[in-house]
Amino acid sequence: MHRRTTTEWMAASIVVALVIVLIVRVGATPGEKLGVALRATARWSFLLFWLAYAGGALATLFGPKFQALAHRGRDFGLSFASAHLVHLGLVARLYYVSPSPLPQSSLIYFGIAAIFTYVLAILSVKRLSARLNPTVWRTVRTLGVEYIALVFLTDFAKNSFQGGVWEDAYYLPFLALAIAGPLLRLAALVKRLSQVRRLAV
């Protein structure tokens, strides 16, 4: 059976993002096309990020049935970076067509997450990350993924409970995943530390 390469995962993720934009362009009303496309591509990016972010924790907590997910962490992370290019293109479009300037604080807040995304993608090349001190690389990676997770969490939390039932149904599953991700990673860390202590005794 053919095993997909990382490049194929990345290509597939960006194609899905482009298809989402095309569907929105065809189906949404003229005044809503850009907003709907932004929200839809952000959710697609988030799902890929979440699988990379929480896959290892799921394997630690729940065993071998999630091991394949954990092994694909790099693929999901690079797929997220690829798909997110489409979302960032839409953000640039929004910045260009918006009648009023976007808040600078928001641009900085989300821009830092974008920078982390592509710094981590570049450093996922082992020849590059191998040149860094292992402690520095772990620190950069941890800060980066936790910051990106925080940005998704605050974005979903900010927009939840703002509308009716359908609007809440559109946000709440993603908010639940955004909350669950850090909790899973924390629980996995506690489990690993407890295992290390038991071995040291």
* 67-96 pLDDT, tens digit each: 999 999 999 999 999 999 999 999 999 888
Instruction: Tell me how many domains the chain contains.
Output: 1
**1 domain-assigned:** no
- CA–CA distances in Å: residue 172 to residues 109, 160, 177: 22, 7, 9
158 within a domain of the structure (yes/no): yes
Cα 23 from Cα 35, distance rounded (Å): 13
Mean pLDDT in consecutive groups of 10 residues from the start of the chain, 201 residues = 77 97 89 89 97 96 91 95 96 84 84 96 88 90 97 86 62 92 96 84 63
Q: Alpha helix (H) ranges present in the chain?
A: 6-27, 33-62, 67-71, 73-97, 104-123, 126-129, 134-159, 165-200
The boundaries of the domain holding residue 143 are 6-200
CB-side neighbour CA atoms (13 Å) of 134: 0
Does residue 191 lie within any of the structural domains? yes
What is the pLDDT at residue 201?
A: 63
Read off the DSSP letter of residue 147: H
Phi-psi region of 77 (alpha: psi -120 to 50; beta: other; left: phi over 0): alpha
Check residue 195 and give its pLDDT.
86
Q: Looking at the domain assignment, is residue 18 inside a domain?
A: yes
Contact partners, residue 21, CB within 8 Å, separation at least 6 = 37, 40, 41, 86, 90
The reported pTM is: 0.90
